[in-house]
Chain A
Amino acid sequence: MDKVPLTLVESDDSEELGEGAMKRPETTGGAVPRVTIAMVAHNPGAWFDEALTSIRTQDYPAIDVVVIDPASDIAVAPRVHKVLPEATIVPLVTNQGFAKTANTMLEHSSGRYLLICHDDVALAPDCVRRLVEEAVRSNAGVVGPKLLDWNDPNRILHVGFTADKTGAVSDIAEPGEFDQEQHDAVRDVFAVPGAVTLLRSDLFTALGGFDEAMIAHGEDLDLCWRAHALGARVLINPAATARHREDLSSRVVGHQRDRFAQRHRIRSLLSNYGLWHTLRVVPQALAVTFVSAIIALLQGRIGDIATMFGAWLWNLKSVGSIFKRRRQLSKTRQIDDGEVRALQQPGFEGVSAWRRSRADRRESIATTGSVVAAVSAARERRRWIQVSVLVWIGVAAVLLFGSRGLIFDSLPIVNEFAGFPDSPRPLLTEWGTTWRSTGLGSEAPSSPLHFLLGFAGIALFGQMGLLRLLVTVGLVLVGTIGMYRCLAPFRSPQAQLVGLVLYAAAPVPYNSFYAGSWSGLAVYAAMPWIARRLATAASLAPFGDEEQRLTRRFGDVALLGLVLAITALIEPLVAVALAILVVGWVLGALATSWPSGLGRLLASALMGVVIAALLSLPGSLALVRGDLAWSSIAGVSGGEDPTLFELMRLATGPHGRGAFGWALAVLPALALVLAFGHRLIWAARSWFAAVLAVAAAWAATSNGFDLALGDPEVLLAPAAFSLAFAGAMGALAFTNDLRRHRFGWRQFVPFVALGALTLTTLGGLAGSVDGRWQMPTAGYESVFGFFDDKAPAHSRILWLGDRDVLPVDGWDFDGSLSWSITQARRPTVVDLPFGNPDPAAREVRETVADTLAGASSRLGQRLAPAGIRYVVVVEANAPRPFGTVERPVDDAVLRRLSEQLDLVRVEVRGGATILENRAYVPMVASFPADILLSEPPPTLRQLLGVPFTLALPEVRSLRDYSGSLDQDGVWLAVNDPSNWQVSSGGEVLSPSPVLGPGVGYRAPLGSARLEHRNDSRLMIAAIVQLGVWAVVVTVLVLGRRRNP
């Protein structure tokens, strides 16, 4: 043995230890404390000689070697004596496990220090010296070396252990980590590996040695834990190294390693805490066992479940010995559990290990480019792709299942879900005319909506029913796809999937179905796309960077404008939704003191709105100039008030009303308390947007505020998006930020998150059961279909009712009711959008209001000049018993109407009251010209006193009437007759004003034709508008191809 001078350093920080326990080693002068190396050798292999040789070559001068042979099958002593002739051999007759074997040293140890080691370690020549030096220097009770791989000493096996509260250990070094001196600082650890452990003999004695119930595995942790309790320091001195094969325990316990590890961990847990910590920690450990068992069950590891619970049972059986050990420890305990806990790691090792493995895998790829790591990452990517596909299949399946009644049965005409014409032609014709038939008719530019729907109808080979399905049910899918894509910049499949599931489970689209709110669906579908474009254009991390090229940024803004404009075709209030989002994001950024990018955000939103407004000209201009009444867009305030709590659950209808509805907010809430960095900023932004949206919906639906903001679903769509977004941030925080928190309630987040996601999903699933999201099984298609048989081109309908149930768009009647006038036909999308009521229509409204105030009992007569043949009061979204939304009209209104002496009730199913005007005059009628065109013009009473007939009965479209005249005066009841022309015998007739909105023509008897000619300026404007759309789309498509 080489003798190397040993320098020992005295330590002044000696501690008063337990009775008969620790005393400072005797290290005075040049004397060195004697070390007894105790090697447990059981059936050692060929390496044994090398292990023995490593002892022999130690440079420490005072070493005794004791080799304990626990009844090996092979002869150990000759091999030992061959290398270490002075070594003492302690043969045992049986092998009772490592702990009991090692405890033999309680009798044979003669040195001040005891170094217990396995038979498969090769100590570095200075190992013992450095361990002793550190033990003396640090006044440590237990010191361990850095353990290296036997075959590859460049890789670290262990540099000490840490453990969580349940005794689950984890390595401080990663398995297989390259030794780059990164761990070469002396450090306190919770336990040192049992392969090489230097400890003071007196401590070993005071501890009573290893726990002999521990055959193998865990005895090192247990020993160190108790050493801590006695106030001993436990250190790793990485300057001391040893190579280790790590196969002793497998030789001892074979394939039962896991079982022993579990048992012994729990035994330590039950034995080493004081009473209070035992009561506190044991239930947590049990909970962890249960959760682990569930996970194992899901993964099919049934054997592991048996191991987990078997370990508890085993300890239950040994409860007597556990109590005995507890009593022993309590007698010698010097340190309370609180201090011991401080040495343990926070949280649960199982969760930490899972997170660590994932983070390290990513880091490994990034830093080392390791092929292994890359392969592992690729495998994980594949796994996530599989999971994503499964989730998508699940979401699509639920949507299809929940919509099966709408897809395979019927999508009823309910509220905004207007009917579609049987072919694309009426839509394209509507686009091709400047005559708007709603109200009493007016000249106005056409809407691109008609062109787009007509074009889409052609693309679908005229399958208008399919088109209607796609632009209603399909919008949900568009929204969910948008949500998934919106989260892509976070590069986290988990976040994307969580966002997708939450957005798909949000009640907004399903309550939109229930309420017949096409606008709610449209904004729901558009919201993620809008948010993505907005964030990208504003270069908000991680959607873009500030160095992004201006052209690229402008492209994003243009795309934002396009999405807004397309959505505005159905619901112009998407601009309000955008405003909610922007303001929410600004508030969130300010609240988190992270105002970076706010200027870009506001500028991008503003530019997006400007572009959308340009694409929506001239309607947007009319709104800005005040020519378009707000109520024409936003309807009226009030309606059926959802409570604030219902709005908080986004439950404007039956979906989300249950207790499960609150689950939607749990994951997003966790994001707020867990996340760091940009995840926290996005969570805050999202939350502010969500709260703002709920507040807006509350104000708009409360009767006390005179604030009309459209359907509540429109306002809650940003809330749904924001909650899903914040939920995704919660998922990100779970994987990235949770470990940064000390142990506390946050550690239960995984379970809470899992539960919340499950409940949210269940809530969504529950709504799908009836196959139509609780939409009525039948709408007004059959009830109002009867209008189509009654000369619809010659008559009109006056609609009255709550906006929530009217099957047509409407204007504000009195702050609570809506009203509108359409041709007397089944309502279809052709009648959209409504625009402002024309002046003549406003007069009709005044007439109705007067009558309802009791001014007249002849409403029919008074409506006759407007060509109104029917007054329809709608009180439910579908005829009874199919209706799901009831909005009863004030009984006084119905009473007044039923008291009219010229209105006859048409018997139809309840839900709508149809009154036929017995005093009706067709809007194209023939009168005696002498009376019709007399001077002064005839009064209403005079006009109604003469016989008249329906004129020009052959109708090609609402702009083209022809036929024969049996009287020489033609009456046309339209608001703006400037572009109407009556011709007879090739001669164009001159109009004369007659009464109210009517105009009269003197025509010779015989055939005549009444035609509308487009306003050329408006038609050009419509074509230009379509051209602008085409240019914007083309530029964006080309731009994106160049800059993918």
Chain B
Amino acid sequence: MSRGPTIFLLVLVVAGLLFADRVRSDATPVDVANPDSVAATSQSNNATGSTWYCPAGLTTPDASTDHLVTITNNTDRALTGSLTAFPSLFDTLGESVTFDRAVQTVSVEPQAQVTLSASAIVALLDPTLNGDTGAFVGALVEFDAEGIEVAHTLVSPLGTDTGPCATTADSGWWFASGTTTVGVRHLLFLLNPFPDDAVVDVTFVTDEGARSPGSFAGRLLPARTLTVLDVSATVSIWEQVAATVTTRSGRVVAERVQFFADDAGPYGVSMALGANDLGEQWFFPLGGAVSGAGESYVIFNPGDDPAEVEFQANLDSLDRAGDVAPVSLDIGPRERWIVNLSTHENHPVESLAAVDATDLLAPGDRFSVTVRSFNDVPIAVERLTTISPVIGAGVTTTLGIQQGSTDQLIALPPAGSGEARSGSLGILNPSGDSISRVQIFVPGESGETLREEVELAPRRRAVFPLDSLSLGQAGWIRITSTVGTMAELVTLENAGLSSTVSVPVAETLSVPDLLSFD
């Protein structure tokens, strides 16, 4: 028997273990996109169901104000689900009063769209809800199948606005933009569809700093109810107010509605989900979509650390690439800043924390916008677009996009009868180094048909006028791409100005690399 080989073998085995351990320790985890960071995503193809939350809606008995829920069945089979309406009212003190829910079964044919009117549902409910003042109605749409996209449209005498419903509830929501001036009714819709009560705190940020109204602190949102907060009645007059909704317990869905009814100001209605996830990089594919409109970007830093932010407009013209220098901003904790690219007299962006960049771009420049925080402090960015009352009517706000997708769908807002759709579809390739081949499909009688196909260079965008896509009565546009892209739609019709972003299929999401600004 010998000692040497034994010790040698043992040492060899231990050394092998140590080596293997070291090699394995060097492995780095793979980044995986978190689909929950996007408020609205459609379910993945292998899922068996989907749930959509559409908090913001108003109805009146005459349906002049209505909450339309549009359900798109992008599959080849008929699907059945349900819509649950969550009605509520303000009492005489302005407090939200909730009512019993109403559930309506919904069937949607293959490759078809159904639009449900909340007014029709509310009409069957408590008579109190059918008073002249109308009622607030949130909606919950549930389907036991994938391939469903749900958007909702707020119709009002002031105009309409459309946006996707949310697919996730969360414990924090941020709104970078908001107006509480005279003539503007600013409402926050908080939907708690869950069987547990939720408690929320709402704070606002103005030029004077952060403010937490007592009536919005520790606000109880009973289980399975819609609660509406009248911000304009609580917060003093500010042209720009950022808001934060955080929950102490439970999870909610938060959406903002603003009615601009001041004859001397912009005119219209704006509806937008908040951001449920702050980010370091935000994209806006469609800059300068409406000629002559006021266009501002509101950048909100709700955190405790200052953010070093750069704002960049990326011109479409290759000849002028690099002509527009980035705008640098140091945004303090709980501060919001505004970058004005174009304004008019009634554009509600008066603020001490504002940058006038109106001379940054030449008239007629087409561009996309990227906002980036360079010191890892997450922010939220919204775009405010208003049309001068001198020209016409229209107000819309758009939350920036953080993630790209290779398969996304935009539900078109209901068009007026016989009215041709007017607007633009912008598609941006946010990648820093990959070309994306983009295809645009529109549903027809024999299924979806390819309307456009284009290759997008890194950081480039393409803009398609809606009339060039031959939409007809199509209810949606589907965009596929080889590399994750972002899509935005801005329409300007008789009903007013409206903007919406695409709803990506959850499992096709991708987070673009953080860009450096040259």
- Residue ranges of A at the interface with B (Cβ–Cβ < 8 Å): 587-588, 591-594, 643-644, 648, 672-673, 677, 680-681, 684, 687-688, 691, 694-695, 698, 702, 704, 850, 853-858, 892, 895, 898-905, 918
Docked-complex contact A857 and B5, CB < 8 angstroms: no
Once the chains are docked, how many angstroms separate the CA of A592 from the CA of B5? 7
Docked-complex contact A850 and B36, CB < 8 angstroms: no
Docked-complex contact A856 and B6, CB < 8 angstroms: no
Known: A592-B2, A594-B1. 19 other contacts (CB 8 A): A592-B6, A643-B21, A648-B14, A684-B10, A691-B14, A695-B13, A695-B17, A702-B21, A704-B24, A853-B46, A854-B44, A854-B167, A855-B48, A855-B50, A855-B146, A857-B142, A898-B194, A899-B251, A901-B224
Docked-complex contact A854 and B50, CB < 8 angstroms: yes
Q: Which of B108-155 contact A (CB under 8 A)?
A: 140, 142, 144, 146
Q: Which residues of A contact B18 (CB under 8 A)?
A: 644
Q: Which residues of B contact A918 (CB under 8 A)?
A: 195
Once the chains are docked, how many angstroms separate the CA of A698 from the CA of B21? 9
Once the chains are docked, how many angstroms separate the CA of A855 from the CA of B50? 6
Once the chains are docked, how many angstroms separate the CA of A684 from the CA of B11? 12
Smallest distance from the beta carbon of A680 to chain B beta carbons, Å?
6
Once the chains are docked, how many angstroms separate the CA of A905 from the CA of B249? 10
Once the chains are docked, how many angstroms separate the CA of A853 from the CA of B195? 21
Docked-complex contact A856 and B17, CB < 8 angstroms: no
Indicate if B34 sits at the interface (CB-CB under 8 A).
Answer: yes
Once the chains are docked, how many angstroms separate the CA of A898 from the CA of B9? 54
Q: Which residues of B contact A673 (CB under 8 A)?
A: 3, 7
Q: Which residues of A contact B144 (CB under 8 A)?
A: 855-856
Indicate if B193 sits at the interface (CB-CB under 8 A).
Answer: yes
Picked from B13, B168, B195, B251, the residue with its CB within 8 Å of the CB of A904 is B195
Docked-complex contact A593 and B1, CB < 8 angstroms: yes
Kindly report which residue of chain A lies nearest to residue B41, judged by CB atoms. Answer: A854
Docked-complex contact B6 and A644, CB < 8 angstroms: no
Picked from A592, A695, A702, A900, the residue with its CB within 8 Å of the CB of B24 is A702
Q: Which residues of B contact A899 (CB under 8 A)?
A: 51, 168-169, 194, 251
Smallest distance from the beta carbon of B75 to chain A beta carbons, Å?
14
Docked-complex contact B251 and A898, CB < 8 angstroms: yes
Picked from A643, A704, A905, the residue with its CB within 8 Å of the CB of B196 is A905
Once the chains are docked, how many angstroms separate the CA of A856 from the CA of B144? 7
A591-B51 contact in complex given A695-B13, A698-B21, C-beta closer than 8 Å: no
Q: Which of B286-345 contact A (CB under 8 A)?
A: none
Docked-complex contact A858 and B251, CB < 8 angstroms: no
Once the chains are docked, how many angstroms separate the CA of A587 from the CA of B167? 59
Once the chains are docked, how many angstroms separate the CA of A44 from the CA of B6? 63
Main secondary structure of the interface of B (DSSP, over half): loop
Indicate if B190 sits at the interface (CB-CB under 8 A).
Answer: no
Give a binary string over B20-54; 1 marks a CB under 8 Å from any A CB, 0 the rest.
Answer: 01001001000000111000000110111111000
Indicate if B221 sits at the interface (CB-CB under 8 A).
Answer: no
Picked from B3, B167, B193, the residue with its CB within 8 Å of the CB of A680 is B3
Docked-complex contact B1 and A858, CB < 8 angstroms: no
Docked-complex contact A853 and B44, CB < 8 angstroms: yes
Q: Which residues of A contact B224 (CB under 8 A)?
A: 901
Smallest distance from the beta carbon of B121 to chain A beta carbons, Å?
18
Indicate if B501 sits at the interface (CB-CB under 8 A).
Answer: no
Once the chains are docked, how many angstroms separate the CA of A698 from the CA of B142? 46
Docked-complex contact A688 and B10, CB < 8 angstroms: yes
Smallest distance from the beta carbon of B20 to chain A beta carbons, Å?
8
Docked-complex contact A691 and B10, CB < 8 angstroms: yes
Q: 9 nearest interchain CB pairs? A: A857-B51, A855-B48, A644-B21, A592-B1, A856-B49, A591-B6, A855-B49, A855-B47, A684-B6
Docked-complex contact B13 and A854, CB < 8 angstroms: no
Once the chains are docked, how many angstroms separate the CA of A673 from the CA of B3? 7
Q: Which residues of A contact B503 (CB under 8 A)?
A: none
Indicate if B269 sits at the interface (CB-CB under 8 A).
Answer: no
Give a binary string over B484-508; 1 marks a CB under 8 Å from any A CB, 0 the rest.
Answer: 0000000000000000000000100
Smallest distance from the beta carbon of A487 to chain B beta carbons, Å?
20
Docked-complex contact B17 and A901, CB < 8 angstroms: no
27 contacts between A and B (CB under 8 A): A591-B9, A592-B5, A593-B2, A644-B21, A680-B1, A680-B3, A681-B1, A684-B10, A691-B17, A704-B24, A854-B50, A854-B167, A854-B506, A855-B48, A855-B49, A855-B50, A855-B146, A857-B49, A892-B34, A895-B251, A899-B168, A899-B194, A901-B140, A901-B224, A902-B195, A904-B194, A905-B196
Q: Which residues of A contact B35 (CB under 8 A)?
A: 854
Q: Which residues of B contact A593 (CB under 8 A)?
A: 1-2, 5
Smallest distance from the beta carbon of A698 to chain B beta carbons, Å?
6
Once the chains are docked, how many angstroms separate the CA of A732 from the CA of B49? 70
Kindly report which residue of chain A lies nearest to residue B194, judged by CB atoms. Answer: A901
Docked-complex contact A588 and B6, CB < 8 angstroms: yes
Smallest distance from the beta carbon of A928 to chain B beta carbons, Å?
22
Q: Which residues of A contact B44 (CB under 8 A)?
A: 853-854
Smallest distance from the beta carbon of A855 to chain B beta carbons, Å?
4
Once the chains are docked, how many angstroms separate the CA of A681 from the CA of B18? 25
Q: Which residues of A contact B10 (CB under 8 A)?
A: 591, 672, 684, 687-688, 691
Once the chains are docked, how many angstroms separate the CA of A695 from the CA of B194? 48
Kindly report which residue of chain B lies nearest to residue A902, judged by CB atoms. Answer: B195
Kindly report which residue of chain B lies nearest to residue A916, judged by CB atoms. Answer: B195
Give a binary string over B152-184; 1 marks a CB under 8 Å from any A CB, 0 the rest.
Answer: 000000000000000111000000000000000
Q: Which residues of B contact A672 (CB under 8 A)?
A: 3, 6-7, 10
Picked from B9, B146, B193, the residue with its CB within 8 Å of the CB of A901 is B193
Q: Which residues of B contact A892 (CB under 8 A)?
A: 34, 36
Q: Which residues of B contact A856 (CB under 8 A)?
A: 48-49, 51, 142, 144
Kindly report which residue of chain B lies nearest to residue A702, judged by CB atoms. Answer: B24
Q: Which residues of B contact A855 (CB under 8 A)?
A: 43, 47-50, 144, 146
Docked-complex contact B48 and A850, CB < 8 angstroms: yes
Picked from B3, B9, B17, B169, the residue with its CB within 8 Å of the CB of A698 is B17
Docked-complex contact A644 and B47, CB < 8 angstroms: no
Docked-complex contact B51 and A694, CB < 8 angstroms: no
Once the chains are docked, how many angstroms separate the CA of A644 from the CA of B5? 24
Kindly report which residue of chain A lies nearest to residue B144, judged by CB atoms. Answer: A856
Kindly report which residue of chain A lies nearest to residue B82, judged by CB atoms. Answer: A941
Kindly report which residue of chain A lies nearest to residue B169, judged by CB atoms. Answer: A899
Q: Which residues of A contact B140 (CB under 8 A)?
A: 901
Smallest distance from the beta carbon of B505 to chain A beta carbons, Å?
11
Give a binary string over B431-460; 1 marks a CB under 8 Å from any A CB, 0 the rest.
Answer: 000000000000000000000000000000
Kindly report which residue of chain B lies nearest to residue A592, judged by CB atoms. Answer: B1
Once the chains are docked, how many angstroms separate the CA of A677 from the CA of B1? 8
Once the chains are docked, how many angstroms separate the CA of A602 from the CA of B409? 65
Once the chains are docked, how many angstroms separate the CA of A837 from the CA of B194? 31
Once the chains are docked, how many angstroms separate the CA of A306 from the CA of B34? 77
Q: Which residues of A contact B7 (CB under 8 A)?
A: 672-673
Kindly report which residue of chain B lies nearest to residue A690, judged by CB atoms. Answer: B10
Give a binary string over B234-265; 1 marks a CB under 8 Å from any A CB, 0 the rest.
Answer: 00000000000000001100000000000000
Once the chains are docked, how many angstroms separate the CA of A65 from the CA of B67? 138
Once the chains are docked, how many angstroms separate the CA of A918 from the CA of B196? 11
Kindly report which residue of chain B lies nearest to residue A858, judged by CB atoms. Answer: B142
Residue from the set A593, A698, A854 with the largest chain B CB neighbour count within 10 Å: A854
Once the chains are docked, how many angstroms separate the CA of A903 from the CA of B193? 11
Q: Which of B37-79 contact A (CB under 8 A)?
A: 43-44, 46-51
Once the chains are docked, how many angstroms separate the CA of A591 from the CA of B5? 6
Docked-complex contact A687 and B43, CB < 8 angstroms: no
Once the chains are docked, how many angstroms separate the CA of A688 from the CA of B12? 11
Docked-complex contact A694 and B17, CB < 8 angstroms: yes
Smallest distance from the beta carbon of B249 to chain A beta carbons, Å?
8
Smallest distance from the beta carbon of A862 to chain B beta carbons, Å?
9
Smallest distance from the beta carbon of B224 to chain A beta carbons, Å?
8
Once the chains are docked, how many angstroms separate the CA of A687 from the CA of B3? 12
Smallest distance from the beta carbon of B19 to chain A beta carbons, Å?
10
Docked-complex contact A903 and B51, CB < 8 angstroms: no
Docked-complex contact B43 and A904, CB < 8 angstroms: no
Smallest distance from the beta carbon of A871 to chain B beta carbons, Å?
13
Q: Which residues of B contact A681 (CB under 8 A)?
A: 1
Kindly report which residue of chain B lies nearest to residue A683, judged by CB atoms. Answer: B6
Smallest distance from the beta carbon of B43 to chain A beta carbons, Å?
5
